[in-house]
């Protein structure tokens, strides 16, 4: 998998993969932000990945629900600039047994993004 990121204009960037795209940044300091910042996209990716696993669990076990909301809170550091903690909260509109709650948490913890962040992947930078 290779995501392509390119400059649109000024500080506005576009990420593309498989015909889909995401915009981040702004043209200049006086322009409105367009799309989520890269850091917010990272938190959103964690929340959406968790949400996919929640939905998978509910569907697989035939659990009726009337929606859910996931929030991802972050704790950041400045030197170097980074996120040092994510807290993902799921507000699910469903009646669950204790066993279902445990199963749902276990399934949500199988999230690809969360598992990647938990194990600090190698980050390589090549300049061509």
Tell me the two tokens of residue 99: 């066993």
pLDDT tens digits for range 70-96: 999 999 999 999 999 999 999 999 999
pLDDT value at residue 122: 95
Enter the pTM of the model: 0.91
Which residue shows structure tokens 């799921």? 90
pLDDT tens digits for range 6-45: 999 999 999 999 999 999 998 888 999 899 999 999 999 9
The residue that leads in pLDDT, 28 or 103, is 103
pLDDT value at residue 1: 80
pLDDT value at residue 44: 97
Q: What CA–CA distance (Å, rounded) separates 99 from 66?
A: 20
Please state which CATH number belongs to domain 37-118: 3.30.300.20
pLDDT value at residue 7: 96
Q: Are 27 and 36 in contact (CB under 8 A)?
A: no
In angstroms, the first-to-last Cα distance of the chain is 19
Q: What CA–CA distance (Å, rounded) separates 80 from 38?
A: 16
Q: What CA–CA distance (Å, rounded) separates 12 from 1?
A: 23
């Amino acid at each position: 998998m290779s995501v392509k990121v390119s400059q649109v204009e000024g500080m506005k960037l576009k990420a593309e993969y498989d015909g889909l795209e995401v915009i981040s940044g702004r043209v200049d300091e006086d322009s409105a932000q367009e799309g989520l910042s890269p850091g917010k996209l990272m938190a959103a990716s964690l929340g959406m990945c968790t949400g996919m696993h929640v939905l998978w669990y509910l569907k697989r076990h035939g659990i009726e629900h009337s929606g859910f909301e996931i929030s991802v809170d972050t704790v950041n550091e400045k030197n170097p600039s980074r996120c040092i903690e994510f807290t993902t909260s799921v507000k699910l509109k469903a009646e669950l047994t204790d066993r279902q709650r445990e199963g749902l948490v276990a399934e949500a913890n199988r999230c690809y993004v969360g598992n990647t962040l938990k194990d600090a992947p190698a980050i390589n930078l090549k300049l061509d």
